[in-house]
A and B are shown apart, each in its own frame.
Chain A
Amino acid sequence: MAVNPEIQGRRLPPVGPYLVGREKVREFARAVLAQSPLNLDAESARAAGYADVVAPPTFPVVVQEATLAQLLAEPDTGIDFTRVVHGDQRFTFVRPVVAGDELMAELTVTSVKSLGGHSMVTASTEVVDLDGELVLTAISTLVVRGDEEASA
């Protein structure tokens, strides 16, 4: 099944709020082999001017992931999850995420393209705080591998 080109431009309902927990940030920091005390120790983070531990740069994928799952659950995308490969990823920050943040995430499908039997779906997730202020944008391109015949 081909990816439905009409999903380009679709904006999904916001997901959240996601409460960024201190222990979750520490767990994630250890998992990506972070060594900075600002990611691991609240006192060090406060001494550096932050409200609490700072989330590592790729932590927002945890928040973004809920919106990608929401996209894949849409009935009409034509995206076969078993054929999806993560093509690229970008995070653009207005400010860093810190423990205690409550975040809402809203995904927009910004592009659907076909390339050599594969489809490339680019989704941009805006992450805002409870005042509606933009915190970061997370952009993923999902590569949906075509059928064996189509890609041969």
Chain B
Amino acid sequence: MTRPRISDLTVGEVVAERTVTLHRDTLVRYAGASGDFNPIHYRDDVAASAGLPGVLAHGMLTMGLAVQPVVDWLDGDSGRVVDYQTRFTRPVVVDPAEGAEVTIVAKVGVLEERFARIDLTVSFGGQTVLGKAQVRVDLE
């Protein structure tokens, strides 16, 4: 696999797609790696008492995994990501048995000289969970 060239891209083109299933152990692993031990991400009783529909994935976990299909499209060179932003618009509720299926679609949003803005659509249960999820990549 080789790195994409800016001259080969067109706005609106889908460059990567992936579906991942998050399980409770995915959340526990992220809690340990990130240091975010808020119990709403692993304890049903705490999530319920906070008025939440269930244990939620960390927003930063969703943000972190949503960029991975783009990194792989960049031939694995995550250092080409020069800007990455998102809003957290809806929670990802992770069922203890079934987990949560999250779908990522990455499209070319803007082409500007050596940079491409890749727009992510990240969905769970048919609704988007991230807003304005944009990854600016350097393709020089």
Contact = CB atoms under 8 A, between A and B. Distances in A.
A32 B67 CA distance: 9
B128 interface: no
Interface stretch (A7-15, A56-64, A107-115): A56-64
B78 A54 contact: yes
A62 B78 CA distance: 17
Contact of B71 (A57, A62, A85, A93): A57
Interface stretch (B7-15, B57-65, B93-101, B108-116): B57-65
A34 B88 contact: no
B-side interface size class: 20 to 34
Contacts of A27: 32-33
Determine the main DSSP class of A at the interface with B: mixed
B116 to A, nearest CB: 15
B34 A89 contact: no
A33 B76 contact: no
Interface residues of A, number: 36
A93 B68 contact: no
B67 A58 contact: yes
Given A57-B84, A92-B83, A93-B81, A37 B76 contact: yes
A32 B61 contact: yes
A35 B20 CA distance: 13
B36 interface: yes
Contacts of A62: 34-35
A56 B64 contact: yes
Interface of A: 24, 27-28, 30-39, 44, 48, 50, 54-58, 61-62, 65, 85-93, 95-96, 139
Interface of B: 20, 26, 29-30, 32-36, 59-61, 63-65, 67-68, 71-72, 76-79, 81-88, 132, 135
